[in-house]
Copies of this chain bind each other. A is one copy, B any other.
Amino acid sequence: MRHLICDKSARLDLPHLVSQPRRCLIPVMRDYLNLHDARHNSGCHMHAEHHDLIAILIIKSRNGSLPTHHNPRRAVRKQDFQPQMEMAMQSLKYLGMMFPLWLALAASAAPSIQSEPIQPIAKAVIRNPAMVELGKKLFFEPRLSKSGFISCNSCHNLSTGGSDNLSSSIGDHWQQGPIRSPSVLNSSLNVAQFWDGRAKSLQEQASGPIANPREMASNHVLALDVLRSIPAYVNEFDKVFGNRNVSMQQVTMAIAAFEETLVTPDSRFDLWLKGNKQALNAQELRGYQTFKTAGCVACHNGPAVGGNSFQKMGLVSPYQTSNPAQGRAGVTGKDADRMAFKVPSLRNVALRAPYFHDAGAPTLEAAVATMGKLQLGRAFNQQEIGDIVAFLHTLTGKQPRIVLPVLPASSNDTPRPTPFN
Contact = CB atoms under 8 A, between A and B. Distances in A.
10 contacts: A142-B160, A149-B170, A159-B404, A159-B405, A166-B417, A167-B420, A174-B174, A176-B420, A351-B409, A362-B412
Interface string A30-54: 0000000000000000000000000
A136 to B, nearest CB: 10
A166 B149 contact: yes
Given A174-B174, A419-B166, A399 B403 contact: no
A154 B399 CA distance: 22
Nearest to A402: B404
A137 to B, nearest CB: 8
A69 to B, nearest CB: 29
Interface of A: 140, 142, 147-149, 154, 157-161, 164-168, 170, 173-174, 176, 350-354, 362-363, 365, 399, 401-407, 409-410, 412, 416-417, 419-420
Contacts of A402: 403-404
Contacts of A142: 157, 160, 164
A174 B403 CA distance: 28
If over half of A's interface residues share one DSSP class (helix, strand or loop), that class is named, otherwise mixed; here it is loop
A308 to B, nearest CB: 25
What is the total number of copies of this protein in its complex? 2
Given A351-B409, A365-B412, A164 B149 contact: yes
Contacts of A365: 412
Contacts of A404: 158-159, 402-404
Contacts of A140: 159
Given A147-B170, A362-B416, A353 B410 contact: yes
A176 to B, nearest CB: 5
Contacts of A170: 147, 149, 419
A209 to B, nearest CB: 15
A407 B159 contact: yes
A420 B416 CA distance: 28
Nearest to A158: B404
Given A362-B416, A416-B354, A410 B159 contact: no
